[in-house]
Amino acid sequence: MSAGKSQEIVTYRSGQLGAIADELRYGSDFLTELQQKAGTTQRGYAGNIKVFFHYFLHRAPTHDDDVEEFWGLDEESANTLILKFKNYLVAEGRKSATVNRYLAAIKFLIKAGRNLKRCNYRFDSDRIESMRVTKYRDTSGVRVDEYNKVFDVIDVSTDKGKRDYALFLLFWSNVLRRCEIAKLKVSDFNYQESVLRVYGKGKRNDDVKVDLNRNVADAIYGWLRCRSSVKPSDPLFIAMDFHNFGRPLSGDGLYAIVRMTCARAGISKRMSPHRIRHSGITEALDLAKGDYRKVQHLSRHADPRVILAYEDNKNQYQLELSDKLAARLGRKRRKN
């Protein structure tokens, strides 16, 4: 499924509005619909839909014909195929969240067809139920003393060291997600006010201003001073390796920096940007003496129950009760 005409930029003369409307109505616009989703969602949905077609056709879907044929089915036939595919995923032992992701991709494919007036049926949610997911969040991380080891291996006399020093301070003190850091522009940083404008996950355009500790702001400013001819539209953090020098530091690039630097520092736990975020939030709960409302302002979680998961994991309530229950059983049970 290629973008086809949907990605072309065409200049039309006056009097051609009807032709434009027809092209949009009958053109290959599924990917145009898909582009409204965030980048990771686009790739995930496209991959899931390919697997769906491959299951029945034993090949990848063709440019448009297979999608058009699917859209042209009657409601009973289409939903029967989807149910059969779901049962196949379950029989293969796929996790509930994975099955639900495939179903969400197929739902979006049907929705796109309806929006384009080329599909007349709906996804039958009563017949094809989503799988129940038991959520578990691994919020384990490292303590601040362990994290401080990274600063012992960062050479701040180099430009790369100044960049990494600012990054690792920012990751911990403001518990930012790597996608949020990857989106930052120079214009998002206000050194005088020690403020950073951060954009949300996905393709949302909403932003929030977060306050920076002065030491963090100084570190970012020191990093920017290393760069020549910096424009407001430039990325705040850039790649420093030979092949990618000057390009925006991507989420994958940030992951690689964190993993390699932490390993070099001797941190035994496999680290990632999100594990740093977990670590910072857990440390903040200690500093806030369990006031999860304060921590929610720091982490910017929409649901405060997420913070409660950090609190439960930090205090190991489950292990405490399991130990007490186990102590009353078996040959080594405690006597009352």
Catalytic residue positions, numbered: 177, 203, 274, 277, 301, 310
Cα 124 from Cα 107, distance rounded (Å): 9
- Tally of CB atoms within 10 A around 59: 10
Number of helices (H), then strands (E), in the chain: 15, 3
Distance CA 38, CA 30 (A): 15
Pairing of strands 189-190, 195-199: antiparallel
**Residue 207: what are its φ and ψ, rounded to 5°?**
-135, 160
Token pair for residue 264?
A: 């070099």
Calpha distance 110→118 (Å, rounded): 9
Give the separation between CA 183 and CA 39, rounded to whole angstroms.
13
- Say how many C-beta atoms besides its own lie within 10 A of residue 311's C-beta: 16
CA geometry: angle 44, 178, 155, nearest 5 deg: 140
Residue 290 · residue 311 · CB < 8 Å = yes
- What distance in Å separates the CA atoms of residue 177 and residue 198, rounded to the nearest whole number? 10
Amino acid 191 reads Y
In what helix (H) or strand (E) does residue 178 lie, and over which residues does it extend?
A: helix 178-182
Nearest to 165 by CA among 218, 241, 239: 218
- Count Cα atoms within 13 angstroms, Cβ side, for 118: 20
Q: Which residues pair with 197 in a beta bridge?
A: 209
